[in-house]
Amino acid sequence: MKTKKKDVVVFGRSQALRMARVASKGTMDEIIATLRTTLEALPAEGPGFTWRREGAKVLAFLLGERDRPAFRLFIAKGNKKLPFYTWSTSPVYTCPGKGPCASWCYSLTAWRNAAPFWRQVQNTIVLRFMPELVADTFLDLPQGITLRLYVDGDFADEATVRFWFKLLRLRPDVQAYGYSKSWDELAAAKDAVPANYILNVSSGGRERSVSREAVLGLPMARGLFVAVQVPARFMAMKAARYEDPEYHEAVRQAARALGHQKVFSCTGLCGTCVKGRDGQWTHACGDMRFKDVVIANGIH
């Protein structure tokens, strides 16, 4: 996504991380106070004003001055790359299993634009303090959808895992999938796993009490999704790299060098990377036919 002139970046990474941390860990009073001081430091007009305007909508909702959230809680069928319904929260601070991935987290690149950042902050707060609103909105989603549960952020604790698993059991028509490093939290809720959630065990995290192998043994686990280092020239191509056979070969070689044998290189198009049993295009990450296949992507 190109940064529009009205979205000129005036919000530094340290400021954004502070706001994300408070949204994830602070009390509501601390969140509102931090929001106010953050907004006061942003431009009231001209370049960068979008950051202040969009954040002010979140603050107004928390203060009861708006009767609905500033942003939709779930994004509906976003784009060609990710044509599913999605849910996100602020990355890093909602990720108990974060490790080296925190230094190259792709979610942080979305912070070049105001709306994605403030949506993540809003959803983090709403999930913590207004879970009934999240539940009501989820239960009202259209029938038969595919949901990517956490594009940004992760299951912050066991209670969050159980919250989502309960909702998914109430909507068996929703086909949900995701990527997670919250291994301890998922393992603790293994008694509540719904039939309509598929887990991709994500790389880049740190050692936890529960091993990667134990998480891969959970009933909802499809397999590993790993980020691998490939030559910089491929990453410089951005989305165009997915059309280059040499890039995919580099990804497979990098994954095999890590000891993985059965490797599928991510095509970058989540809805159309493989054919489903019905002959329609679908996504390998949500398809148990790819169980125990390592899906790999270049670090981006």
- Of the candidates 203, 209, 184, the one whose C-alpha atom is nearest the C-alpha of residue 260 is 203
pLDDT in tens, 250-264: 999 999 999 999 999
Least confident of 3-12, 126-135, 146-155, 289-298: 3-12
Helices and strands per DSSP (H, E), number in the chain: 10, 9
Looking at the domain assignment, is residue 292 inside a domain? yes
The yes-or-no verdict on residue 6 having pLDDT over 90 is: no
Establish if 84 belongs to a structural domain.
no
User: SS3 for 50-93, per residue?
Assistant: HHHHHHHHHHHHHCCCCCCCCCCCCECCCCCCCCCEEECCCCCC
Tell me how crowded residue 140 is: count the other CB atoms within 10 A of its CB: 9
What is the greatest pairwise CA distance in the chain? 55
Asked if residue 257 is part of any domain, the answer here is yes
Between CA 154 and CA 95, with CA 238 as vertex, the angle to 5 degrees is 10
14 in a domain, yes or no? yes
Q: Of 38, 62, 86, at which residue does a domain stop?
A: 62
Contact, 297 vs 251, CB < 8 A? yes
Report CA-CA distances (Å) from 122 to 62, 69, 172, 210, 242: 9, 8, 27, 31, 32
pLDDT at 271: 86
What are the tens digits of pLDDT across the range 140-162? 999 999 999 999 999 999 999 99
Q: Give mean pLDDT, residues 201-214.
A: 91
pLDDT of 280 reads 82
In this structure, the strands spanning 274-275 and 175-180 are unpaired
Flag whether 264 is in a domain.
Answer: yes
Please report whether residue 261 resides in a domain.
yes
Domain count, the chain: 2
Q: What is the mean pLDDT of the chain?
A: 92
Evaluate whether 255 touches 275 at the Cβ level (below 8 Å): no
Do the domain assignments include residue 89?
no
Structural domain boundaries, residue 38:
5-62
Examine the fold and report which residue of 13, 44, 62 is the final residue of a domain before the chain moves on. Answer: 62
- Does residue 234 belong to any structural domain of this protein? yes
Pair type for strands 281-282 and 274-275: antiparallel
